[in-house]
Amino acid sequence: MSLTIALAGNPNSGKTTMFNKLTGANQRVGNWPGVTIDRKVGRIRGTDYELVDLPGIYSLSPYSPEEIVSRNFLIEDRPDAVINIVDATNLERNLFLTLQIIDTGIPTVIALNMMDQVRKLGDRIDVEKLSKELGCRVIPVSALNAEGIKELVTAVGEVAEAKLSPEPLYFDGDIETAVTQAEEALRGEVPDETLRFHAVKLIEKDNAVCDSHPDAMNKVSTAVRELERKKDDDADSIIADGRYNRITTITESVVKKAPRDERGTLSDRIDRIVTHRVWGIPIFVGVIAVVFFGIIGFSWGDFKIVGIGTWCTDWVNDVFIGEWIDPAVRAWCESDGEFSSVDALLCSGIVGGVGAVIGFLPQMLLMFLALCILEDIGYMARIAFVMDRVFRHFGLSGKTLIPLLVGTGCGVPGIMASRTIESERDRRITAMTTTFIPCGAKLPVIAMITSAVFPGNGLIAVFCYIMGIILVLVSGIILKKLKSLSGTPAPFIMELPPYHIPSVANILKGTLDRGWAFCKKAGTIILISCIILWFLASYDTGLHYIGDNVGDAQSILAAFGGAVCVIFAPLGWGDNWELTVGTITGLIAKENVIGTFGTLFGIEAGDNGEGLETVLSGMLTKSAGLGFLAFNLICAPCFAAIGAMHRELGRWRDTGMAILYQCLLAYSVALIIYGFTSYIGGWNSLVVDGTLIEQAAPVGSTVAGIVVLAIIIYLLWAKDPFRQLSGRDEYDAEKGMRA
Amino acid sequence: MNNDLAVGAVIALMVIASVSYMLLQRKRGVNSCGCKGCTRCRSQSAVNVTIDDDGDACKDKN
């Protein structure tokens, strides 16, 4: 029999892990709340049951988009049964949602998850008694260890097929009288099976229910007012209080907690250090630094550490591609005694372009691995907590942090994650700024520029992340002064998951998924881009083939790049049209910057024997290189991310304004970097044939940089004309009036 | 013997394979970055939009 089963529960209660165990799917599991921002559908293995994984929610009140998604599905689509995942280590809070699910009248099975943790803590839960108290089947499970999965599937099948609706949990006297009146008022207006749910929501003055049933609301308004007068509280607080009273009674009778260590759990003790008011941020910077020093390396004067990723990437570039693939392909192409344009396309265009991107795969895999480990042990959630303090200080919502953390993998889901933000203003600002944090596709660009102008210095990667966070803050402060983006920040509440030893399978899956996506991109969009670029760089405007010298100044691409590159002259890289073309092709996919250089410089074809880094260090000074990197990280993201941004912003006009803002900000930051850092010793020199050639001081860029910096500072400090009073302001104003 | 034909055929095969894969991904609502997006959703910027594996529920709902 085909049944639809919903999987519902609190954030971070293990729903996605359970979904994967039940369906055999490979949905990504994250150790922070809010990983599921949409609903996912799969089939329970060995059955006909369709399983719908709903976003994690705390209640069925439509406060946030996740709650709306879950509530609409449960009430409007009415699945045949609900598996309510309950975190057994935190029963009190989880049962608040359970009681509301029971009110919907949908056959429910409680999956008491994380029972392994309960045992570890020495606690005991009387499952039989809990089942009796809640009036529905309760199955102890551990999604992580696949314990109790079979029993859960059997139970949910039995309950759904028998349509065993749980008995609602009744409130105490006065509340229940009001609910009964609401049921009478709603009878006939809503289906009988959801009557109780709607009646309770009507008493709670739930906006959605009140708006759709105004007559019923009028009928019970006297009863609600009477209830509020008697209990001296708001109706929704009275209902919440009623539920918690019931929950307390249940948990007191079924849970026997073992005595706890006064110092708290291990997670509590670690959190006292890593989320410390003072040490939290330095520890965060330190963790990111250690990751990048280990992968890219570190150098300061004569002191040098070679990163594992740099070592592996050098091997892939120099040996695997440089000595094995490239000579083999070239030998095959030249086996007929001539090197035609088709041969050049394969050697310079495809092997050169795609090979340059693939060369960074080892570094990427190690970076993805590090990010996956940090996420899986639970540290990413702590970063959100630590940074929330900073964000709130600048009037920004800490909710912005979840999209930023998701965006470290890819900007598209990062932008989509901004949907979880209730405030329209915060959501739009977040969608516009999420891509400032370097995504996976930007990591190879960071690695390439670092190895070219700051050889083996992981500090540059750390700088890129910190710059991204600072620019999100700066943008938030500036953009909220626009009328369309003004308003008070939404409050941010996030539960910190306990630390746990990372799951090898989860980490490997996360790393390999991202690595595979990187390879697929190289084999698809980057391959096609390289072919087109090779054509544009190998033919002149009269469509005559100009030989294997793909970087020829007579080519179509050179004519175009030469006309456009003047825009970037104040940034220190306007003399090289190849850099301009790389920046533009980065819009297709950010890795394309490298693919473009690989094709244009024909490096892997071995025609000049120089490495990509050597060519770039002869084109970019340290200052211009850092500015080039900053520009490419902040300017308009790839087309996929622009599409995602457009879907969140709604109108092309807004999307266009967002792209313009990103490009202007990127240009300003690159100008400031180039204009100011060129005076640092050795930062304004090119490396040609191993010798440093000092360049003229960019006085014009410095003056322009000072003007731009002054404008940014003015915008930061200018009074916000649309500032709305916060609770604290209102309190102060009221106090002032009383005085 | 001239091997341009063989080299050209290899390139053509690579192009056909990569374009076909990209078109397939596009049909499945997967962006060029490999991440799933609601490209088939008619509501575009609706906040409470839902997405499933093939994007159909999203399309039907909106």
C-alpha to C-alpha distance for A351 and B14, rounded to whole angstroms = 12
Residue B57 has pLDDT above 90, yes or no: no
Q: Tell me whether residues A343 and B7 touch, CB distance under 8 A.
A: yes
**Placement of tokens 């080519």 in the chain:** A555
Q: Tell me whether residues B37 and A39 touch, CB distance under 8 A.
A: no
| Closest Cα in chain B to A646 | B45
On whether the CB atoms of residues A366 and A312 are closer than 8 A, the answer is yes
Give the pLDDT confidence score for residue B34 in this predicted structure.
67
Give the pLDDT confidence score for residue A25 in this predicted structure.
66
What are the structural domain ranges in chain A?
4-161, 173-256, 281-717
Q: Other C-beta atoms within 10 Å of B19: how many?
A: 14
On whether the CB atoms of residues A525 and B32 are closer than 8 A, the answer is yes
Give the pLDDT confidence score for residue A548 in this predicted structure.
60
Q: Tell me whether residues B35 and A419 touch, CB distance under 8 A.
A: no
**Cβ-proximal residues to A434 (8 Å cutoff; 6+ apart), any chain:** A403, A404, A407, A411, A414, A415, A417, A418, A472
- Residue A15, phi-psi category: left (phi > 0), alpha (psi -120 to 50), beta (remainder): alpha
Give the residue from B56, B53, B24 showing the smallest Cα distance to A26: B53
C-alpha to C-alpha distance for A123 and A27, rounded to whole angstroms = 31
On whether the CB atoms of residues A81 and A165 are closer than 8 A, the answer is no
Identify the DSSP state of A20: H
B15–chain A Cβ distance below 8 A for any pair: yes
| Closest Cα in chain A to B23 | A524
Identify the DSSP state of A575: S
Give the pLDDT confidence score for residue B51 in this predicted structure.
36
C-alpha to C-alpha distance for A129 and A127, rounded to whole angstroms = 5
**How close A624 comes to chain B (CA, Å)?**
28
On whether the CB atoms of residues A438 and A472 are closer than 8 A, the answer is no
Give the pLDDT confidence score for residue B62 in this predicted structure.
33
Nearest to A441 among B4, B33, B38 (CB): B33
Q: What are phi and psi of A4, to 5 degrees?
A: -105, 125
On whether the CB atoms of residues A589 and A441 are closer than 8 A, the answer is yes
On whether the CB atoms of residues A114 and A94 are closer than 8 A, the answer is no
On whether the CB atoms of residues A7 and B18 are closer than 8 A, the answer is no
**How close A39 comes to chain B (CA, Å)?**
6
| Closest Cα in chain B to A55 | B50
Q: Tell me whether residues A342 and B11 touch, CB distance under 8 A.
A: yes
How much is the ipTM here? 0.74
Give the residue from A460, A384, A497 showing the smallest Cα distance to A33: A497
Locate A169 and state its tokens: 């949990």
Mutate to test the interface with A, among B4, B25, B32, B33 (most CBs of A within 10 A): B33
Q: Tell me whether residues B19 and A528 touch, CB distance under 8 A.
A: yes
Q: Tell me whether residues B14 and A640 touch, CB distance under 8 A.
A: no
Locate A247 and state its tokens: 């929950």
Distance, C-alpha A659 to centroid of its chain:
20
Nearest to B1 among A41, A336, A639 (CB): A336
| Closest Cα in chain B to A514 | B34
**Cβ-proximal residues to B11 (8 Å cutoff; 6+ apart), any chain:** A342, A345, A346, A350, A531
Residues of A in Cβ contact (< 8 Å) with B56: none
Locate A469 and state its tokens: 């966070």
Give the residue from B36, B14, B13, B41 showing the smallest Cα distance to B26: B36
Residues of A in Cβ contact (< 8 Å) with B3: 332-333, 335-336
Q: Tell me whether residues B4 and A531 touch, CB distance under 8 A.
A: no
Q: 3-state class of A148 per DSSP? A: coil
Locate A732 and state its tokens: 């102060």
| Closest Cα in chain B to A639 | B32
Q: Tell me whether residues B33 and A643 touch, CB distance under 8 A.
A: no
On whether the CB atoms of residues A100 and A232 are closer than 8 A, the answer is no
**Placement of tokens 């120089």 in the chain:** A610
Q: Tell me whether residues A640 and B19 touch, CB distance under 8 A.
A: no
Residues of B in Cβ contact (< 8 Å) with A69: 48, 50
Q: Across the strands, what pairs with A710? A: none
Give the pLDDT confidence score for residue B48 in this predicted structure.
33
Locate A289 and state its tokens: 């630094």
Q: Quick check: do A4-161 and A173-256 share a fold?
A: no
Burial class (CB in 10 A: 0-12, 13-18, 19+), B43: middle
User: How would you list the strands of the sheet with A50-53, edge to edge?
Assistant: A40-43, A50-53, A4-9, A81-87, A108-113, A137-140
Q: Tell me whether residues A639 and B21 touch, CB distance under 8 A.
A: no
Give the residue from A98, A86, A91 showing the smallest Cα distance to A142: A86
C-alpha to C-alpha distance for A614 and A314, rounded to whole angstroms = 13
Q: Tell me whether residues A639 and B32 touch, CB distance under 8 A.
A: yes
Residues of B in Cβ contact (< 8 Å) with A364: none
Q: Tell me whether residues A416 and B37 touch, CB distance under 8 A.
A: yes
Identify the DSSP state of A395: T
**How close B25 comes to chain A (CA, Å)?**
11
On whether the CB atoms of residues A90 and A97 are closer than 8 A, the answer is no
Give the residue from A78, A20, A80, A76 showing the smallest Cα distance to A53: A20
Residues of A in Cβ contact (< 8 Å) with B11: 342, 345-346, 350, 531
C-alpha to C-alpha distance for A427 and A489, rounded to whole angstroms = 10
C-alpha to C-alpha distance for A679 and A108, rounded to whole angstroms = 69
Give the residue from A42, A20, A9, A12 showing the smallest Cα distance to A149: A20
**Cβ-proximal residues to A585 (8 Å cutoff; 6+ apart), any chain:** A529, A533, A592, A593, A595, A596
| Closest Cα in chain B to A76 | B61
Mutate to test the interface with A, among B24, B25, B40, B50 (most CBs of A within 10 A): B50
Q: Across the strands, what pairs with A686? A: A693
DSSP A445-508: HHHHHHHHHSTT-THHHHHHHHHHHHHHHHHHHHHTTSGGG-SPPPP---PPPPP-PPPHHHHH
**Cβ-proximal residues to A361 (8 Å cutoff; 6+ apart), any chain:** A313, A316, A515, A518, A519
Give the residue from A256, A18, A42, A257 showing the smallest Cα distance to A148: A18
Residues of B in Cβ contact (< 8 Å) with A208: none
Provide the strand spans (E) within A554-700: 685-688, 691-694
C-alpha to C-alpha distance for A625 and A439, rounded to whole angstroms = 19
Give the residue from A658, A657, A669, A599 showing the smallest Cα distance to A633: A669
Q: Across the strands, what pairs with A53? A: A7, A40
- Residue A439 half-sphere exposure, CB side, CA atoms within 13 Å? 32
Q: 3-state class of A298 per DSSP? A: strand
Mutate to test the interface with B, among A513, A524, A654, A655 (most CBs of B within 10 A): A524
Give the residue from A156, A151, A15 showing the smallest Cα distance to A94: A15
C-alpha to C-alpha distance for B62 and B55, rounded to whole angstroms = 11
Residues of A in Cβ contact (< 8 Å) with B41: 647
Residue B40 has pLDDT above 50, yes or no: no
Question: What stretches of A104-234 show up as alpha helix (H) in DSSP?
Answer: 115-121, 127-134, 149-161, 173-186, 195-203, 207-212, 214-231
Burial class (CB in 10 A: 0-12, 13-18, 19+), A516: exposed
Give the CATH number of domain A173-256; options: 3.40.718.10, 1.10.390.10, 3.40.50.2000, 1.10.287.1770. 1.10.287.1770
Locate A220 and state its tokens: 């019970």
CATH architecture of the domain with residue range A4-161? 3-Layer(aba) Sandwich (3.40)
Give the pLDDT confidence score for residue A296 in this predicted structure.
87
- Residue A591 half-sphere exposure, CB side, CA atoms within 13 Å? 32
Locate A655 and state its tokens: 């999307």
Question: What stretches of A275-360 show up as alpha helix (H) in DSSP?
Answer: 280-295, 308-315, 326-333, 341-344, 353-358
Give the residue from A583, A658, A563, A690 showing the smallest Cα distance to A627: A583
Mean pLDDT in order along chain A per 10 residues (739 residues) = 86 83 66 50 85 83 70 86 93 92 93 90 92 93 89 93 87 87 89 89 86 88 88 87 91 89 84 91 92 88 86 89 91 88 90 89 90 86 84 76 82 77 80 92 92 89 94 90 72 75 84 87 91 89 75 78 92 91 91 89 51 87 96 93 85 92 97 96 88 91 96 89 55 51
B21–chain A Cβ distance below 8 A for any pair: yes
Give the residue from A436, A459, A452 showing the smallest Cα distance to A296: A459
